[in-house]
């Protein structure tokens, strides 16, 4: 199991700190685990699963990205 610190979660998701905590408070993002003192971290597999769920929602709503050009 790998624990991600806040900067790692921000890099992985592209979300700002305030947005992450807003999603945590709303129950739509995995809750961090407490590592001691004021340190917290997120379980990498939970963050990865959250991202996969966003991808599935996107694909179900808009179809896959095949054929798109950027």
pTM, full prediction: 0.83
Q: What's the CA gap between 9 and 64, in Å, rounded?
A: 25
pLDDT tens-digit readout, 6-59: 999 999 999 999 999 999 999 999 999 999 999 999 999 999 999 999 999 999
Q: What's the CA gap between 40 and 48, in Å, rounded?
A: 17
């Amino acid at each position: 199991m790998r624990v991600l610190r806040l900067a790692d979660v921000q890099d992985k998701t592209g979300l700002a700190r305030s947005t992450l905590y807003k999603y945590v408070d709303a129950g739509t993002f995995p809750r961090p685990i407490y590592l001691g003192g004021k340190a917290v971290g997120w379980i990498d597999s939970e963050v990865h699963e959250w991202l996969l769920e966003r991808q599935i929602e996107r694909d179900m709503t808009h179809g896959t990205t095949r054929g798109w050009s950027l």
